[in-house]
Amino acid sequence: KNEVEQSPQNLTAQEGEFITINCSYSVGISALHWLQQHPGGGIVSLFMLSSGKKKHGRLIATINIQEKHSSLHITASHPRDSAVYICAVRPRGGADGLTFGKGTHLIIQP
Amino acid sequence: KAGVTQTPRYLIKTRGQQVTLSCSPISGHRSVSWYQQTPGQGLQFLFEYFSETQRNKGNFPGRFSGRQFSNSRSEMNVSTLELGDSALYLCASSSQPGQGEGNEQFFGPGTRLTVL
């Protein structure tokens, strides 16, 4: 069974801090997604990656395929980064849809 | 380019009824996926459609069904509603189905279904 574990479950930090959210999964995958969900439900896709590292603005996502682990980093965090961050993976072969982690609730205090 | 749209945005039904939710993908996108989000289970995959064919189905009972039309719009139907079906139903569209690092999913705002 494909499982996706995220840590931490909840994270409160001060504005400006460097944030790291971790995601571990149990099966071979074809791609890993990092998603952001704000209150109200809207989901935005932040990254989709299958190897290496991607950067977009203050956000950086890395993946280690051998260790089945990915991290999402936020540099110079800001209160507007407060949201739920969700990791999702698509198993290799594509026979199943995305499997999601439970999400990390991030609060950035001014 | 208009984003993914879902209708209705909110819906209240009673147990035993059925419901149909609609999703219009981004223009040019031919793949539509549906997800259910509940406080207890989080996000769970329901179905994936591409070119009017269901490619994948999640672990949901047969009361949950869907289809995709020739214009790529998709509908999902839930029959004999149960209290536990109360959830946010999200659809997402992409240009191609399944894997591929460039195949980003774009999510709609969701339909919040309440079953009384």
Tens of pLDDT, residues B13-63: 999 999 999 999 999 999 999 999 999 899 999 999 999 999 889 999 999
Give yes or no for B23 touching A (CB within 8 A). no
Binning pLDDT at 50, 70 and 90, where does residue A19 land?
Answer: very high
Question: B19: left (phi > 0), else alpha (psi -120 to 50), else beta?
Answer: beta
Percent with pLDDT over 90 in chain A: 76
Give yes or no for B107 touching A (CB within 8 A). yes
Quote the CA–CA distance of A40 and B108 in Å, as a whole number. 12
Quote the CA–CA distance of B20 and B2 in Å, as a whole number. 22
Among residues A34, A54, A55, A56, the alpha carbon closest in space to that of A45 is found at A34
Quote the CA–CA distance of B99 and B116 in Å, as a whole number. 38
Q: Is the pLDDT of residue B100 over 60?
A: no
Which of the two residues, B98 and A13, has the higher pLDDT score? A13
Report the Cα–Cα distance between both ends of chain A, in Å, rounded.
41
Count contacts between A and B (CB, < 8 Å): 68
> Pairing relation of β-strands B87-94 and B31-38?
antiparallel
Among residues A1, A19, A6, the alpha carbon closest in space to that of A69 is found at A6
Query: For residue B111, what are the CA distances in angstroms to A82, B23, B91, B105, B114?
Result: 23, 10, 9, 17, 10
Quote the CA–CA distance of B17 and B30 in Å, as a whole number. 30
Q: Which of residues 35-94 of B touch A (CB under 8 A)?
A: 35, 37, 42-48, 55-56, 58, 88, 90, 92
Residue A87: closest CA among chain B residues belongs to which residue?
Answer: B43
The per-residue pLDDT for B98 is 66
B33 to A90: CB separation less than 8 angstroms, yes or no = no
Among residues B52, B56, B65, the alpha carbon closest in space to that of B18 is found at B65
The amino acid present at A21, given as its one-letter code, is: I
A96 to B56: CB separation less than 8 angstroms, yes or no = yes
Quote the CA–CA distance of A14 and A78 in Å, as a whole number. 8
Using an 8 Å CB-CB cutoff, list chain A residues near B90.
41, 43
If DSSP codes are grouped into helix, strand and coil, which group holds residue B8?
Answer: coil
Q: Which range has the worst mean pLDDT, A8-12, A27-31, B4-8, B78-82?
A: A27-31
| Average pLDDT along chain B | 92
Report the Cα–Cα distance between both ends of chain B, in Å, rounded.
37
A50 to B98: CB separation less than 8 angstroms, yes or no = no
| Average pLDDT along chain A | 92
Q: Which of A33, A42, A100 is opposite residue B42, by nearest beta carbon?
A: A100
Per-residue pLDDT, averaged over A46-66, amounts to 94
Residue recorded with tokens 């409160």: A12
Alpha-helical segments (H) within chain B: none
